[in-house]
Chain A
Amino acid sequence: MMAPIVGIDLGTTNSLVAYMDGGSPRVIFGKHDQPNVPSIVGLTDNGLMVGEPAKEHLVRDPLRTIYSVKRFMGKSLADVSDELNYFPYTLREKGGVIRIQIGEKTYSPPQISAMILKELKLRAAAHLGQDVTKVVITVPAYFNDGQRQATKDAGLIAGLEVLRIINEPTAASLAYGLERQTQGVVAVYDLGGGTFDISLLRLKDGIFEVLATNGHTHLGGDDWDRRLVESVVKDVNAKHGLKVDDCPELMQTVRLESERVKIQLSDEDKTHMSIPLPDGKGTYTREWSREELESLTLDLVQHTLAPCRSALQDAGLHAHEVDEVVLVGGSTRMPLVRRLVEELFGQTPHCELNPEEVVALGAAVQAGILAGDNKDMLLLDVTPLSLGIETMGGVMSALIRRNTTIPTSAKEMFTTYADGQTSVDVHILQGERELVQDNRSLARFQFKVPPLPAGVPRIEVTFLIDANGILNVTAADIRTGESQSVQVKPSHGLTDDEVESMIRDSFQFAVEDIKARQVIEARTEAEAIITATEKALKRGTDLIAPEEAQSIHAAIEDLRAVTHQDDHRVLRGKIADVEKVTHHLAEVLMDATLKEALENKKLSEVTD
């Protein structure tokens, strides 16, 4: 049997992997039956943690736990300067690429993404019972060349063969098309954790032709959370005399609680927020109504409407000519989003397929097409941004217009301006503005020319955007017919050498052995529980009998004694012992101070 190709949705907040099970796409669930892997990576002293355990680790060790790394893909530090405050970890830059500093080491965003990809690869391999090396990875439709290349690099670093980079909204349309046999014009409105896309497609006889796409690569659920966080931080600082910004652990608790409240308010009109504060400052509680959330974030939803209108205009369509509207991405669960989309298109949007899973399902459908198992469907996608080169006077000259069907190529003839000139420099850009400085610098390259009088050399350069939406450059000397090598230096991307060395480095983190992973997770949890229990003991000494305190101390020491063992079952056993013996203390503490707020929480969570 041929090696399976899986589809991966590498999301800002959550990632998923899916495959074709017979003729239907299916998301692969984790061992606790959860469909998603949180896109969070913990680089602890004990080793690497990815997904759910890393998410739990986040509030304990925010300086070494990385989330929302997708926002940094293909970006420089200057690109994200206005949101640096939201991230607890330290960001640096090298070669135009963001680097995340953890202790002494730095990691590029593709390296962190590669860790998430490996986790998904392991999940898929475990489920399918065979190694998985070939993948389709989705990206936001509005991702530029650099962001796509960074995603492809992440795949390489993870040891994967990325057969195709496919756009998230179009992937979703494949899943819907398969499910509903839709025909006609479809608008896919995709609001995820960090990005927004709108794509308009014509579906006809199995051909999915993208007419236009638009979007915003820095607008998503994260921004909704931030609005809540800002409001809460202000409130806590004022009411409890704290400086939340200086306390990364508390900041993460606030962020996660804000996210939870936001999600809750999609289903309910009101919800309760409660955040335990450090230093015996009690608990912050607050009632939230959906109305409040909506008034805090209305402008964010409105931000998505202008790209929708631009896409309609580019496709030469009126809103009422759209036959179906499809909602994709967890953020489209918000009633306000649905209402405004419905108003814009004048129809009730479809959301039959789980908006969190539909992109991964579509990636699996595309994997089936690439494998040759599906000859009925074909996706014809477009490039989201115009591509051009810098010309005299700092002006961009467009070679390939936005919304051109890919693959596509453009040729440009170059010559020399001075006698004996031996090389020509070209600056490649992406964007819709007239001036070079207002567009995105993609790369620079140089090619050699034979020393001849000015204007005599004739070098034809071909700019080809492939089916992944990634640029390839080749050059040929027209006079000799010889092809030229072109050294392309990305403006905000890793060099080939860097990717090579990161592939080698990645073996250092190859915690593919299930046992090793379990040990790392158990050990990290043990350490957290020891810290938490000791804190709780200090606070609760007067509330319990001395014998009880004694036995808790003993249990802690027992656990501490085994933290260096390599058998996770021993660790788990001792962790359970500590939890059992501290059960009463937790109850007492809750009764005493936090009863109302902390129902159903474990001691370790209470005292963090």
Chain B
Amino acid sequence: MARSMCWHCQSEMSGEYFCGRCVKVQPLSKELDYFTCMNLPRLLHVDEQALERTFYALSRTFHPDYFATKDESQQRISLGNTALLNAAYRMLKDPIQRAEYLIRLEAGSAKDIRTSPPADLFDEILELQDDLEEFRALSAEDSSARRQTLQEKLEASRRSLEARKADVESRLFDQFDKWDVLHAQTHDDPATQAAKDAVLKTMQALLSNRTYVTNVVNDLVAAVGERTGSGRT
């Protein structure tokens, strides 16, 4: 971390989060990325236990509850640091968000994840949208055969899209492996860089597909209802 002077006593910083001389808490740099914040390498497979340990330890370091009797400046720093820490933990804990964050970090904000349908599903999804619209127009009391048929069709679509989502995710996790291998290579030659870019690009496409499919599944669940009961989604 490129930090040189304590905001309070102006002495050169020796400690990591607290000034070695006046023991005041120091603000985390605004440029600090979440992986560095959590003491993790920029890999997509994360040791979840280690992540949680670091999160708890840093929470104990920065949380506003431990600064309630300190001066206002330290309270403000504690608040800012904890907000950053919470954002980092939230982002890195979830594999999908972690991948999206890594793409932003490596490829810049120009590469935001958009939602786009998988190319081969385009026609199928158009038809499904029509069915969904027709189904929504029919009232819940309607017991016609047409409504019954639509419902069964939509439920089948939901199952097939959920399978598709699982497939997209498993392909995404394959890319995680590739990224981690490439990232571990010490030589950052042009060939490695090109391979990394390719992985990022593939992941980006997969994430766009996944977001799209997830939205459609959510629409279907909202219209037809969920048959699997409560619990993990």
Q: Interface of A with B (CB < 8 Å)?
A: 163-164, 204-205, 207, 309, 312-313, 316-319, 366, 369-372, 375, 378-380, 404-409, 464, 466-467
Contact = CB atoms under 8 A, between A and B. Distances in A.
A406 B233 contact: no
A200 B200 CA distance: 36
B122 interface: no
A95 B56 CA distance: 43
Contacts of A467: 63-65, 79, 82
Contacts of A313: 230-233
Given A205-B56, A378-B63, A408 B69 contact: no
Contacts of A312: 230-231
8 contacts: A207-B56, A313-B233, A370-B68, A370-B69, A372-B68, A380-B59, A404-B86, A467-B64
A388 B79 CA distance: 21
B231 A318 contact: yes
Given A378-B59, A378-B60, A370 B65 contact: yes
Interface string B154-177: 000000000000000000000000
Interface of B: 56, 59-60, 63-66, 68-69, 79-80, 82-83, 86-87, 89-90, 230-233
A316 B83 CA distance: 23
Contact of B64 (A204, A205, A316, A407): A407
Contacts of A375: 60, 66
Nearest to B68: A370
Contacts of B68: 163-164, 370-372
Contact of A405 (B64, B66, B79, B89): B89
Interface secondary structure of B, over-half rule: helix
Contacts of B79: 407, 464, 466-467
Contacts of A207: 56, 59-60
B38 to A, nearest CB: 14
A550 B91 CA distance: 83
A273 to B, nearest CB: 39
Given A370-B69, A466-B79, A318 B87 contact: no
Contacts of A372: 66, 68-69
B58 to A, nearest CB: 11
A401 to B, nearest CB: 9
A306 B79 CA distance: 34
Nearest to A5: B68
A369 B65 contact: yes
Given A312-B230, A313-B233, A378-B60, A408 B65 contact: no
Contact of A404 (B56, B60, B80, B90): B90
B111 to A, nearest CB: 18
**Shortest beta-carbon contacts, A-B, top 6:** A370-B68, A409-B83, A405-B86, A309-B230, A467-B64, A318-B231
A217 B217 CA distance: 31
Contact of A407 (B82, B230, B231, B232): B82
Nearest to A315: B232
